[in-house]
Homo-oligomer: A and B are copies of this chain.
């Protein structure tokens, strides 16, 4: 692979100046057709592709938008792997009846956010750069990214406030899917609280007003905060003191849900169990099934997120489905808006969610 061609090479070959080459590429109809052809031929022959760096420097915009996620659980600790070392193990291995891997974390849903973001970025002529939070946010990827993009979408809580302030001195930042932080930034979120409130009312109707237990995630989860808020407000509004509601704490994994489910089976069931995510709810269903507990007759169960396996669990799981693709699209839209109107007031958009009622919460059906 010899030296990559530049405008100068193209200009030489076509017998024009570099300015003309640039014009052919950026504003084709300002150059005479014959000249244009010569230049395009030279481009093709040389396999010329303009340097994004040089272009970015000159134009003072990169045409790149960034999407920054919080870390995938445990992915950091993945062992080093060297496929080039040559010590491989043959073309396949055989295993019996493997379980689906639970270790991909709660982050599955982020795939759709990425899809939506990429789609919308493409529609607007941008390309997308992705980064995942890990290591010290003060020095890591996200700063790199900020230097290379025209704007940045940051998933809730993936970086601390002071870093955010720094970054936003260089590029516009849109906060995605977390609680609003002041109103310095543009913001896109979902109606988690409202949906959890409505779901809670639904559950109370099923249990005849008897209070559900709440299955929470780690204490510092911002998503969890909104869901809890919706839940507790609905509970209080129904005249039940929130302090009287049992709160169980898991870590968002299916196995933690199962463990808690087993405890409930042993110690006595609540009228309903409302989980702050689907995976814990599914774990609880596992425990209930094994313990001979009938859902929804003995206990009503609900989840939150709308992951696919919830539709085929036994029984199928009532949940709240997040509009992930739309979230990604919305974030890029807001960013594009900001880019075209740098001084407009900060925007805050809240996307509707979908409450999906299935057998796990439907006693009557």
A86 to chain B, nearest CB (A): 9
Inter-subunit contact B89/A352 (CB<8 Å): yes
List of 4 A-B pairs having minimum Cβ-Cβ separation, nearest first: A47-B169, A52-B148, A53-B56, A91-B191
Q: Does A161 contact B (CB under 8 A)?
A: no
A96 contacts which chain B residues (CB < 8 A)? Answer: 356-358
Q: Does A50 contact B (CB under 8 A)?
A: yes
Copies in the complex: 2
Cα(A144)–Cα(B63), bound, Å: 9
User: Residues on A close to B: CB < 8 A?
Assistant: 1, 4-5, 44, 46-47, 49-57, 62-64, 72, 75-76, 78, 80-84, 88-101, 104, 108, 111-112, 114-115, 118-119, 122-123, 127-132, 134, 141, 143-149, 165-172, 188, 191, 194-195, 198, 308-309, 311-313, 316, 320-321, 325-326, 329-330, 333-334, 337, 342-343, 347, 349-359
Nearest chain-B residue to A53 (Cβ)? B56
Inter-subunit contact B169/A145 (CB<8 Å): no
Inter-subunit contact A1/B334 (CB<8 Å): no
Cα(A94)–Cα(B197), bound, Å: 13
A62 contacts which chain B residues (CB < 8 A)? Answer: 52-53, 148
In the complex, given contacts A75-B115, A92-B352, what are 20 additional A-B residue pairs having Cβ atoms less than 8 angstroms apart?
A1-B169, A4-B169, A49-B143, A51-B147, A52-B62, A53-B54, A55-B147, A75-B119, A80-B123, A81-B326, A84-B337, A84-B347, A88-B350, A91-B195, A97-B356, A98-B358, A100-B309, A122-B132, A128-B129, A308-B309
Inter-subunit contact A333/B188 (CB<8 Å): no
A49 contacts which chain B residues (CB < 8 A)? Answer: 143, 146-147, 166-167, 169-170
A-B contact pairs, 19 of them (CB 8 A): A1-B172, A47-B170, A49-B169, A49-B170, A52-B56, A52-B144, A53-B53, A56-B56, A63-B144, A78-B119, A82-B333, A83-B188, A91-B353, A92-B353, A94-B355, A95-B356, A95-B357, A98-B356, A118-B130
Cα(A198)–Cα(B297), bound, Å: 46
Inter-subunit contact A64/B148 (CB<8 Å): yes
Inter-subunit contact A84/B122 (CB<8 Å): no
A358 contacts which chain B residues (CB < 8 A)? Answer: 96-98
A51 contacts which chain B residues (CB < 8 A)? Answer: 56-57, 147
Nearest chain-B residue to A90 (Cβ)? B352
A167 contacts which chain B residues (CB < 8 A)? Answer: 47, 49
Q: Contact check: which of B54, B131, B326, B329 meets A127 at CB < 8 Å?
A: B131
Inter-subunit contact A311/B63 (CB<8 Å): no
Name the residue in A92, A127, A144, A146 with the highest tally of chain B Cβ atoms < 10 Å from its Cβ.
A92
Inter-subunit contact B148/A53 (CB<8 Å): yes
A112 contacts which chain B residues (CB < 8 A)? Answer: 104
Nearest chain-B residue to A191 (Cβ)? B91
Inter-subunit contact A334/B129 (CB<8 Å): no
Inter-subunit contact B91/A118 (CB<8 Å): no
A165/B91 contact (C-beta < 8 A), A52-B144, A54-B57, A122-B141 known: no
Inter-subunit contact A95/B355 (CB<8 Å): yes
